[in-house]
Amino acid sequence: GFAGLMQLDVMFVSSSASWNVEKSSQDETDLSTVGSVVVFFFMLSFYWTHQVLRNIVRATVSGVVGTWWFSPLEATSFCSTAVSGSFIRSTTYSFGSICFGSLIVAVLHMVRNSLRSAQNNRNLGLVRCIVVCIMTYIERLVEYFNKWAYIYVGLYGYGYVDAGKKVISLFKTRGWQTIIADNLVNRLLGIMSLTIGLLTGVCTLFAAFLVEEFESKQGWMGIGFGVGFFIGIILSGMFMGLVSSAVDGIIVCYAEAPKELEDSHPAIAQEMSQTWAEAWGDLAGPAVIALGGGLGVV
């Protein structure tokens, strides 16, 4: 699915580029204005599709976590109604919110890349560098906002803007800004993904070394390592993204409804309470906060 989409985008962009190449000898490698616009919008569609797929997975995992939290009998296995129901909600009821937030990130990403690719032009170089830096920070802020907004989208079915406001208000009310800033799970998952990528690259390099045809072609061995590293990073990133979404969903649920966890999973609730006391003994524990949409999974 996603790999095929990537190949189609690359093939179409390449064909559009070659079709719109200037025929003059001086500008032989420059795209025409129409070709540049076509490339821009197709790359935008690629980034947008990528973001939408990521956020659908994030909202789906959050919905499954919410069902496990509030209605554990409905989330007893991989093939339970919690998984299918959450996926259906993410691709129907919440699909508009997911597309809207994903489009914002995709546009920011494309604008930043366009400005960065034009940095070789010396005209207004300093201003361009400042704008690129500002756009980078804005993109990161929006991605961080989306990270928590889609947790609420998956849990309660809120709209994109309302979801972001509610989760930020929740953390401010509980005084959890420090806890969120100290969350090392994503960093650990990133290190694990990088390690898997390196190991995959080494295995691919070793396999290329065993092939007699490649013994005298050192360049091909380097390409083999690069391909293995890239595949390892992509595949491990997909699985680590599932874990990251589940952890973030648990953080939101624990901040908002710890009593429900005590009722549905008493052993886990006790273990989490003990861990909380050891790590954040000086900070008030979570409390149930009634929100406009009420507790539960839509």
Instruction: Give first-to-last CA distance, the chain, whole Å.
Output: 28
pLDDT value at residue 2: 42
Of 86, 238, 237, 55, which Cα lies nearest the Cα of 150?
A: 55
User: pLDDT digit string (tens) for 241-251?
Assistant: 888 889 888 88
Mean pLDDT of 256-261: 84
Residues 6+ positions from 172 with CB-CB distance below 8 Å = none
User: pLDDT digit string (tens) for 129-162?
Assistant: 787 788 888 888 888 788 888 988 998 888 888 8
What number of other Cβ atoms are within 10 A of residue 101's Cβ? Answer: 24
User: pLDDT digit string (tens) for 58-92?
Assistant: 999 999 999 999 888 888 777 788 888 999 999 99
What is the average pLDDT value for the chain, to the nearest integer? 75
Of 234, 127, 243, which Cα lies nearest the Cα of 186?
A: 243
What number of other Cβ atoms are within 10 A of residue 235's Cβ? Answer: 14
User: pLDDT digit string (tens) for 277-295?
Assistant: 777 665 555 543 333 333 3
Tokens representing 230?
Answer: 């890239």
What pTM was estimated for this model as a whole? 0.72
- DSSP character for 282? T
3-class SS of residue 31: strand
- pLDDT band with cut points at 50, 70 and 90 for residue 110: confident
